[in-house]
Amino acid sequence: MSDVLVFGEIREGKLKKTVYELMTAADKVAKGTGGAVDALLIGRGASESGNEIADLGFRKIVCVDSDSNYSTEGYAEIMKNLLSGAGYSHIFFPATSMGRDLCPRVASIVNGVVFSDCVDISWEDGKCVARRPVYSGKLYLEVSGAEDDTPVFITVRPNNLPPAEPSGEKAEVVTESSEVSEDMIRAIVTEVVATSGGRPDITEADIIISGGRGMKEEKNFEILGELADLLGGAVGASRAAVDAGYAPNANQVGQTGKIVNPKLYIACGISGAIQHLAGMRTSKVIVAINKDPNAPIFEKAHYGIVGDLFDVVPALTEEIRKIL
């Protein structure tokens, strides 16, 4: 019997929704190990966030309140102290910028192994089996834990697993101090600058409206922003659009940008180069809008509209506004 730990990410005092998906993955493993699932929350408002998810099925939620922003060294030290002697066999992180930074550092400290960017988790033959895409999403690789007691650290991509539902049982919410010396911290995040106008981060958004070279200029992205705001989504961009200066690098979707997996992805004026498809091909529903009927994007799209995006997108926005 061994327990499982979930790291819940807090940014700007708010708990990220990824913790619900991580609970789904952790619960699968815990049922295999016969153990329980605990959670660790670090940052401003950790205690309040702990109470938010107290009925999600966790046995215990450890909250470390801190007014300081994210620090790799500080967070890693807190996790090292928690893991020492606790007997956690599997530790889950979100595959976000914070999770990808923190997970391997903690794993190296405690001599664990890392399964990164996983999209599915299962328990087979007494082992945790993680499924992760390779070769730009063309193939999937299955990796499993070792036979010994080596702890397994797993980062899970957002929007791939169904969020956990309330279980009806209340977890024990425990508040602890950080006990981290400032001398050991070499770098700290001083500010997080929002570049999407208050819209959700594209790696977590359920709906993404992306533009490519066909947008012609930066100002035209306002057309996509209007539709995104109406649907509560985010605005993305292809590498061609970013390289042309139409959109910020933070919005780039693709192999050299961000990997996204929304419920709805609307590609506007995007040809569908392999580099871009690698970043969004796992989207649940893909809609392509392009005036070139032979654009490669139509081969991957579930729905396609052949037409000028400057006519189609405003008309689509207006019709959706009427419905809403």
Average pLDDT in the chain: 91
Q: What pTM did the predictor assign? A: 0.84
In this predicted structure, what is the pLDDT of residue 66?
84
23-64 confidence digits (pLDDT tens): 999 999 999 999 999 999 999 999 999 999 999 999 999 999
Quickly state the pLDDT bin for 201 (edges 50, 70, 90).
Answer: confident
- Please state, for a pLDDT cut of 90, what percent of the chain lies above it: 72
What domains are there in the chain, each with its CATH number? 3-184 (3.40.50.620), 207-323 (3.40.50.1220)
Rounded Cα distance, 230 and 233, in Å: 8
> Cα(287)–Cα(302) distance, rounded to whole angstroms?
6
Residue 206 carries which DSSP code? Answer: S
Q: How many helices (H) and strands (E) does the chain have?
A: 9, 17
> Is the predicted pLDDT of residue 196 greater than 70, yes or no?
no
The pLDDT assigned to 193 comes to 67
What was the pLDDT predicted at 61? 97
pLDDT for res 27: 96
Alpha-carbon torsion, ordered 243, 196, 162, 21, to 10 deg: 100
Place of tokens 């977590």: 204
User: How much is the pLDDT for 102?
Assistant: 96
Contact yes or no for 168/130 (Cβ under 8 A): no
d(CA 123, CA 61): 24
Work out the average pLDDT over 106-133. 94
Confidence of residue 199 (pLDDT cuts 50, 70, 90): confident
Q: What is the mean pLDDT of residues 122-140?
A: 89
Which positions ≥6 away from 210 have C-beta within 8 Å?
224, 235, 236, 237, 238, 253, 265, 266, 267, 268, 270, 280
What is the rounded average pLDDT of the residues 279-303?
95
Strand arrangement of the beta sheet that strand 37-43 belongs to: 113-118, 152-156, 88-94, 3-8, 37-43, 60-65, 172-176
3-state secondary structure 153-201: EEEECCCCCCCCCCCCCCCEEEEECCCCCHHHCCCCCCCCCCCCCCCCC
Greater pLDDT, 177 or 226 = 226
Token representation of residue 318:
């207006």
Q: How confident is the model at residue 182 (pLDDT cuts 50, 70, 90)?
A: confident
Q: Which of 158, 132, 154 is nearest to 145 (CA)?
A: 154
pLDDT at res. 184: 74
**Percent of the chain whose pLDDT exceeds 70:** 97
Mean pLDDT of 235-250: 95
- Beta-bridge partner residues of 43: 65
Question: Does residue 148 or residue 222 have the better pLDDT?
Answer: 222
pLDDT attached to residue 87: 86
Q: Which residues pair with 92 in a beta bridge?
A: 6, 154
User: What pLDDT does 254 receive?
Assistant: 92
Residues 123, 308: Cα–Cα separation, whole Å: 48
Q: Is it the case that residue 195 has pLDDT exceeding 70?
A: no
Rounded average pLDDT over 184-197:
70
Please identify which residue in the block is written with the tokens 């966790």.
Answer: 58
Cα gap 54→65, rounded to integer Å: 16
Q: CA-CA distance, 298 to 312, in Å (whole number)?
A: 16
Closest Cα to residue 95, out of 76, 119, 111, 78?
Answer: 119
DSSP state of 252: B
Q: Mind listing the pLDDT tens digit for each residue in 155-174?
A: 999 888 999 999 888 999 99
Question: Does the CA dihedral 119-79-50-197 come out positive or negative?
Answer: negative
Mean pLDDT of 260-277: 94
